[in-house]
């Protein structure tokens, strides 16, 4: 069971980022929430969507190939984006 304050983000193979949480809100840089019409939320990671930040299926048309799957032994490198 995932604690309530954690959200799981799943990477689809060669596809979007899926957020399963029914209560997740996606906001723009001004803090304005996007209307979400479909769950789970699928965020584009191929860069090709015409509906960014959401996936519109373009990744299939452009043959998007994602990086390798997670390596549990790899050091996690993150960067604070703000």
Closest CB to ligand FES among 21 and 53? 53
Residue 4 Cβ, how far from ligand FES at the closest point, in Å?
28
Distance CA 76, CA 81 (A): 15
CB 44 within 8 A of CB 52: yes
Give me the residues that bind ligand FES (CB under 6 A), please.
15-16, 44-46, 48-49, 55-59
DSSP, res 47:
S
CB atoms within 10 A of CB 39: 13
Closest CB to ligand FES among 6 and 54? 54
Residue 74 Cβ, how far from ligand FES at the closest point, in Å?
23
């Amino acid at each position: 069971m995932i604690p309530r304050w954690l959200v799981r983000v799943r990477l689809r193979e060669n596809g979007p980022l899926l957020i399963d949480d029914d209560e997740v809100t996606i906001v723009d840089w001004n803090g304005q929430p996007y209307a979400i019409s479909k769950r789970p939320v699928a965020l584009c990671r191929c860069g090709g969507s015409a509906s960014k930040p959401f996936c519109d299926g373009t990744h299939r048309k452009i043959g998007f190939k994602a990086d390798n799957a997670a390596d549990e032994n790899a050091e996690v490198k993150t960067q604070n984006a703000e």
